[in-house]
Structure 1
Amino acid sequence: MSMPKQPVQQRILKYTITALIVIGSIWSASGLEITLEKILKAPEQIAILVGAMFPLDLSSEAIERILPKVAESLFIAWAGTVIGAV
């Protein structure tokens, strides 16, 4: 028992959509300006970023600075959720 062939129009549509997605992906990737040098420097930059995040600064001064910003972020997220729900 074999599968029936797709109609020609469906095959053309499928291949056209696939080609558009591939062309769009290549076009998007070409605008990223990624070079081998950037790829090779990425682990070093990630290590610097992670090293800057630890150890955490949990001093009272840092907490006083951070809490209002966290509250503001939560309020913005809540407001966005309400706007999106309406």
Structure 2
Amino acid sequence: MTRLVELEETGPRKLDPSDIDGEKGDVAICQCGLSDSFPFCDGSHRETLDEDEEATYVYDGSDRSIVERVVTRDDRDDE
């Protein structure tokens, strides 16, 4: 499975001591792209547990859709 993720930042986020979870003592970085506290994990990845390995998904809030085809600029130039 893949996910289309829209990001707006143009640079890195530097971690500082306040980013460490005082209870757990760790920092979890989001790898699914769905976290409301991106780049930190907030557990949103649980929504992806039933995704089909062969599908590409786009998430819009709590709605999830399967994408049939992703077209890039290079793809359009070939048509």
Question: TM-score, normalization: structure 1?
Answer: 0.27
Between Structure 1 and Structure 2, which shows a larger proportion of helix residues? 1
Task: Name the structure with the higher strand share.
Answer: 2
